[in-house]
Structures are given as C-alpha cells and as structure tokens.
Amino acid sequence: MILTVTLNTALDITYRVRSLRPHASHRVSEVTERPGGKGVNVARVLAALGHEVTVTGFTGGATGRVVQELLAPAPGVVDALVPVAGPTRRTVAVVDDRSGDTTQLNEPGPTITPTEWSAFQETYETLLASASAVALCGSLPPGVPVGAYAGLVRTARSFSVPVLLDTSGEPLRRGVAARPDIIKPNTDELAELTGSHDPVRATQDARRRGARAVVASLGAEGLLAVTLEGRWRAAPPTLVRGNPTGAGDSAVAGLLSGLVEHLPWPDRLARATALSAATVRAPVAGEFDRGVYEELLGSVTVTGEASAA
C-alpha cells in the first residue's frame, strides 16, 4: 500500500469560461467538482496506474463530507481521513477557453487544534506499519506546526518507509533537513529554498541540504533530477497545451510508483514526465489522458549519466 498525506485537503472546483476578463461578469460553461489537495490528486493517479493507495489528512464540515462522498467511488483509493471541527477548504480554478490559461483561488483551510494534530499523528503511525512508501504533499492548514513535515519524515524513516516530500517555503526547508528520500520542488520553490535561480545549481544545493534525491519540475521543459545514483534530465518531445493544474501531482505519482516498482531512475523520470504532460491534457486535476500518456511514455527524452560506482 502507498500512503499519501494531504494535511490541507480540498474540494477542487473548476469553472470553464469563454474568456476571463477582470471586472467583468462571466457565464460559466462547465463546472466540475473533485476531491482535491496535492496528495489526493497523487492518490488517484497512483490508483489509475494499478497501485493500492490510502489517503489520509484532515476533513471537516459540509465541504469535507462532499470530499469524502466524491472520494468513495474512486477505485483503488482507501479513505483514512481524520475528522476535524473546522470546514475543509475549497479551491477554485477558472479555465479561460480562449487562451488556455488557468486562474487559481485557494482558501487557507481549517484551523487544526493540538488534539486534532495528535489524533492525526496516531493515525499516520498506524498506517505507516503497512505502507511501502509515503508522499507528504501540499500546504499546512492553520494550527499545524511549521515543522510538521520534518517530524513526519522522521517518523516514516523510523518505520523504514521511503518518503517523498512535495511542499514549499519554510515547511520544505525544515522538511529537507529531516532527510527525505525525494523532494519534488518546482523552479520557484527551489529558488526560494536555495536562493539560486539556476536549476542545476539549486538542485545540487537542495540535495546537500539533506534530501537523498531532488527532482525539480521545470514546467513544460520536463524534470531535472540529482540523486545518489546520478543526474538526469527528462523532457517531453513536444509542448503539450491545456490545464496545468495537477501536473506536478501526476509527476509525484510517477516518481512514487517507480520507486515502489524499483524502476531505474531514467524510467521513473520518463513515467513522471509523460504523466505530467498527459495531465495537462486532462480536464481536471487528479486525472490524466491515458492515450497521451501511452503515446508520450516511449518518446520522452532522458539524458544524463549514472554516478561512478
């Protein structure tokens, strides 16, 4: 079982409009709702790849109940969310059909009490006992300690469970110091962590800070990885246009599935890059266009070299 942690779960709402204009009224052509938050998106992609996945984190209020109702039919995904008093947040994505651009609005999430945080930690340890890998994903809701991910990384390591960390800001800085197996920042998050805007230099610096492997998302240009085994760059053969929301989460799913399947790094990166591009072509986060994925998987370019033995 692969465990995904989404401390700030969400109800993802996607609106499609013909053309998004400031200070104007818009007619929405399509509305979709999905259970969301980065780890939930990762879980759905992992399940679509054939893995058993358990989702944990927090859920609360009427929005939380909707998230759980929508999550229940998802094949291969087990709900182990921890109830809290505050309402689960909503995120709103507005897709401009004319330009293809997406505007994202993210609520902060519920305030978590010390008792609720302790209840989650107990659930987390119970789930780790049967986990083959864990992904710690996304922002922290109010009330959760800023060093929460660092503690969760150390707990996973005490269970000998490999851990992938995908967050930003101070939670990422502290989490890296706890030595996760993989971190997956984008270029902005990497620059904030290291102070360098050169992806190669910043990726190397992030690894020196504690991560065993750093996989940087370069957007449409693919992925850059610096690991114990070597360094590689993976890129899709063509620019794929569409909604980029969730593309990074699909990359995490590709990396995590490759980890538990013991794939070599070039194959993990090819899978993650193809999944990311295929998600751009899908209408909502947490889904990917399987035809695009299968088409791209064999044509992703991976360059680099393994470390000397």
User: The tokens of 85 are what?
Assistant: 């008093």
Whose structure tokens read 């507005």? 94
Question: CA 94 to CA 22: how far, in whole Å?
Answer: 12
**In whole angstroms, how far apart are CA 92 and each of 86, 105, 113, 243?**
19, 5, 26, 13
Considering 188, 249, 267, 289, which one is annotated as catalytic? 249
CB–CB of 136/5 below 8 Å? Answer: yes
**Phi and psi (nearest 5°) for 227?**
-135, 175
How long a stretch of residues is the chain? Answer: 309
Q: Which 3-state string (H, E, C) describes the chain?
A: CEEEEECCCEEEEEEEECCCCCCCCCCEEEEEEEEECHHHHHHHHHHHCCCCEEEEEEECHHHHHHHHHHHCCCCCEEECCEECCCCCEEEEEEEECCCCCEEEEECCCCCCCHHHHHHHHHHHHHHHCCCCEEEEECCCCCCCCCCHHHHHHHHHHHCCCCEEEECCHHHHHHHHHCCCCEECCEHHHHHHHHCCCCHHHHHHHHHHCCCCEEEEECHHHCEEEECCCEEEEEECCCCCCCCCCCHHHHHHHHHHHHHHCCCCHHHHHHHHHHHHHHHHCCCCCCCCCHHHHHHHHCCCEEEEEECCC
User: The tokens of 5 are what?
Assistant: 């942690």
- State yes or no: is 267 an active-site residue: no
Catalytic residue numbers, as ranges: 249
